[in-house]
Amino acid sequence: MLEMLLGLLLQWYTALAQPELSPSIATSTATVVRVLDGDTVEVELGNRRERVRYIGIDTPEPYAGTAPECFASEASAANRELVANREVQLVADAEDRDDYNRLLRYVYVDGVFVNAELMRGGFATALPVKPNTRHASYFFDLETKAREEPRGLWSACR
């Protein structure tokens, strides 16, 4: 009985811990054709290619001056592992595009919230940019946990 109760509690906590796609939120489906770095991909969306910048997170830059930032290659590899050549769901927030004309999206693959997984693993920091802040507090919570553990860049980049 206790085992069953613990199992139900774990399912309940997991459901609360990761925002799921809601039928009321407009999504589009695309195929990732290239991972550019830890928080940017190129997708095939319909009959066109688009660059997609993940909303709410920031990963170390692989193209920062003459040398990559600490943990940039690990963040890019983690993103590649999650989404490369995979079909993804793209979910918009308030703004559609950034100043570089990239689509701004939350990204899901097989029901996994990619933005959050990168935060959870310590591959990214929270980067809320108004008005796209639907999951900002969730991302800050994940960053705090990764920092406290320490995981990812929080253990490698001191």
97 is catalytic: no
Respond yes or no: is residue 49 known to be catalytic: no
Q: How many domains does the chain have?
A: 1
Is 7 domain-assigned?
no
Query: Is residue 97 included in any domain, yes or no?
Result: yes
Whether 10 is covered by a domain: the verdict is no
Q: What is the pLDDT of residues 103-134, one digit of tens each?
A: 999 999 999 999 999 999 999 999 999 999 99
State the alpha helices, DSSP H only, in the chain: 2-17, 72-83, 114-120, 136-148, 153-156
What are the CA-CA distances from residue 38 to residues 10, 11, 22 (Å)? 29, 29, 25
Given 102, 105, 120, 134, the catalytic residue:
102
Residue 4 lies in a domain: no
Which is the catalytic residue, given 50, 53, 117, 143?
53
Strand partners, 27: 91
pTM reported for the whole predicted model? 0.84
Residue 25 confidence (pLDDT):
57
Mean pLDDT of the chain: 87
Tokens 């800050």, residue located: 140
Residue 15 in any domain: the answer is: no
Considering the candidates 34, 42, 44, 61, report the single residue annotated as catalytic.
61
| Least confident piece of the model among 2-11, 13-22, 63-72, 74-83 | 2-11
- The answer, yes or no, to whether residue 20 has pLDDT greater than 60, is no
Answer yes or no: is pLDDT of 90 > 60: yes
Q: 71 near 86, Cβ under 8 Å?
A: no
Kindly state whether residue 98 falls inside one of the protein's structural domains.
yes
CATH number for the domain harbouring residue 152 = 2.40.50.90
pLDDT of residue 26: 64
> pLDDT band at residue 12, thresholds of 50, 70 and 90?
very low
Distance CA 89, CA 111 (A): 9
pLDDT tens across 39-77, in order? 999 999 999 999 999 999 999 999 877 888 999 999 999
Would residue 102 show up in a list of annotated catalytic residues for this protein?
A: yes
How far apart are alpha carbons 27 and 66 in whole angstroms?
38
The length of the chain, given as a count of residues: 158
Q: Is residue 12 part of a domain?
A: no
Residue 29's domain comprises: 24-156
In a domain, 11, yes or no: no
